[in-house]
Amino acid sequence: MSTRIQAAATAPVAVADTRDPVVLLRDVRRIYPGHPPVRALDGVDLQIDPGELVGIVGPSGSGKTTLLNVLGTLDRADAGVVRVDGYDVEELSDRQLSAMRAHRIGFVFQQFFLSPGVTALDNVADGLLYTGLAQRNRRARARRTLTRVGLADRTHHKPHQLSGGQRQRVAVARALVGQPALLLADEPTGALDSASGAAVLELLHELRDTGTTIVVITHDHGVAAELPRQVHILDGRIESDERTAER
């Protein structure tokens, strides 16, 4: 509790910004119990504004996935303030967090997690499954989103009929179809060769240009260098936060 008060005191919320930040972390801690306990996040402060494309970079075990889980409300911080899309995560129930993920947050995973035996179209439409939208509307929006990621001609292909890069683009489309305020990608290029990885990154850049807020986790400095903002994390702490000149 004291950490939260302190956090609020040391870092007054940036009211100056006309637009509310999509992500606001203040002294966030996540400690996995054990012997010894692991401080996966050890006092993280982070603010991400709408439309930003942010890379989270760090070596293996530095706490990137833990950070992403906290940002995505899949996991709760042990201490600190986590505010996503204007909601204080601490105050929301499990059901409300689910609602956040259904409507406001999109995920892309390293292993894609597409449903086997289900067409690209329906995999993407599943991104809207828990919004209560009717299947017809889900499919219509999925079709538009697949077109957006350049897979208009692959709607009825099943995951095993797609290349790795195409699969990841389907996964991106599924994360995007609900027009989330925040798109979180954990090593989206980790399972891809460099060409496919570059294509996926290119896609993320394009999305960013249309105003989607995107957080990409990577341990690949080459990938990170391409991103307009890089947050370096080490042992659960933010080491540096750099913005490169806009492309």
Ligand X SMILES: Nc1ncnc2c1ncn2[C@@H]1O[C@H](COP(=O)(O)OP(=O)(O)OP(=O)(O)O)[C@@H](O)[C@H]1O
Residue with tokens 């201490």: 79
According to CB under 5 A, which one of 62, 65, 145, 218 is a site residue for Mg ion?
65
Instruction: Look up residue 42 and give its DSSP letter.
Output: E
103 counts as binding other proteins under rule CB under 8 A? yes
Find out whether 106 and 176 touch, Cβ atoms under 8 Å.
yes
Can you give 163-178 as a three-state secondary structure string? CHHHHHHHHHHHHHCC
According to CB under 6 A, which one of 22, 25, 28, 40 is a site residue for ligand X?
40
99 counts as binding other proteins under rule CB under 8 A? yes
Q: Which region among 10-18, 63-71, 116-124, 168-176 touches Mg ion (by CB under 5 A)? A: 63-71
According to CB under 8 A, which one of 41, 52, 80, 101 is a site residue for other proteins?
101
Could you tell me the CA-to-CA distances from 122 to 45, 53, 235 in Å, in that order?
Answer: 38, 27, 39
Partner in contact with 38, chosen from other proteins, Mg ion, ligand X, none, beta carbon below 5 to 8 Å by kind: ligand X
Find out whether 4 and 198 touch, Cβ atoms under 8 Å.
no
Q: Select 63 or 80, whichever has its Cβ closest to Mg ion.
A: 63
Compute the least distance from the CB of residue 244 to ligand X, in Å: 22
127 counts as binding other proteins under rule CB under 8 A? yes
Compute the least distance from the CB of residue 119 to ligand X, in Å: 30
Instruction: Look up residue 127 and give its DSSP letter.
Output: G
Helix (H) or strand (E) holding 238: strand 237-243
Compute the least distance from the CB of residue 187 to ligand X, in Å: 7
According to CB under 8 A, which one of 10, 98, 161, 240 is a site residue for other proteins?
98
Q: Which region among 67-75, 152-160, 188-196, 222-230 touches other proteins (by CB under 8 A)? A: 67-75
Could you tell me the CA-to-CA distances from 6 to 2, 51, 77, 231 in Å, in that order?
Answer: 6, 29, 16, 23
11 counts as binding other proteins under rule CB under 8 A? no
Which pair of tokens denotes residue 119? 């067409």
CA-based R_g, the chain, Å:
18
Residues that bind ligand X (CB under 6 A): 32, 34, 38, 40, 58, 60-66, 219
